[in-house]
Structures are given as C-alpha cells and as structure tokens.
Copies of this chain bind each other. A is one copy, B any other.
Amino acid sequence: MEQNILKTAELKTTQKRRLLLLLLQKQQRPTTAEELYEKVNPLVAINLSTVYRNLNTLTEKGILSRSISQDGKAYYSLLSQGHGHRLFCTSCNDIISIDSCPLGELQEKLEKETGYRILDHSLEFKGLCPKCLSKMDK
C-alpha cells in the first residue's frame, strides 16, 4: 500500500517512509514533523532531519500537502485524503479536519477582479472545542 505510493513516486521503499505514510493515513488530521517523529521513534529509531526530509520529498512529489498554521508550524496530510482545512482549539490544541470547501466560487470571482491566476489557498479556523468550552462553564 505505502509501498505502491513510494514506487510510483520513484522513491526507495524504506521502513521509515512506510511508517510515516502509515501514520499519516491513520491520523485523521494534519500532523507536524515533531508529532510524526514522536510516533515513529518508539517503533524505529529515526532522526528528526529524516522526518523533515521525507515530508519535503513527499510534498514535492505531490503525495502530501503542507500547510503552515497560525501556530507557525507546518502541518502535513495525505493529498489522497482530499482537499481540506483545519479547525483547532486554541486552548487544548485539538485539531480536526474540515472536508467541505466553499471557496471555488470566491476564487473565480477573485481571478476576474484581480487578474491573478489562483493556484492554491489555505484556510484555517480557530476557536474553542466542546471540551474546553464546558470546562470554562464550571
């Protein structure tokens, strides 16, 4: 499975790459290099540079998408999981994925108004998750 992805991208199938892809697949939300490092390391010793290098390679190959969040960190997710955005809690840092994306129309309108050719966008919501909200009531 991960093997096919890597073969198609003409990348060597290493255990660490497979693990990274596996974890990104399991993960139902965009993930940072640090988080992946913490999860891979107990299973197979890996260097943080290796994590970053692989995330970059996979992003260049179009397998992952990278998005810089308002916390200044890069979040990665499998591109096969489709176009999506983030909603995160400013209190506990919980992150969930948003699947819907209503920006197509706006994007067309903007292209007409500005003359730009728009190639990508990023969208992120922040607020308080239900758990943190209920804690605040008490």
Which of B89, B107, B109, B114 is the one whose CB lies under 8 Å from A96? Answer: B114
Interface residues on A, range: 35 or more
Across the two chains, which residue of chain B brings its CB closest to A128?
Answer: B117
By Cβ-Cβ distance, the 3 closest A-B pairs, closest first, are A115-B130, A118-B127, A119-B127
A–B pairs, 21, beta carbons within 8 Å: A68-B68, A68-B71, A68-B72, A70-B122, A87-B110, A87-B116, A89-B116, A96-B116, A100-B106, A102-B102, A110-B125, A116-B125, A116-B133, A117-B127, A117-B128, A118-B127, A119-B128, A120-B125, A120-B126, A121-B126, A122-B123
Q: A98-B110, A111-B127, A119-B127 are in contact. List 5 more A-B contacts (CB 8 A).
A: A87-B110, A116-B125, A116-B130, A116-B133, A121-B125
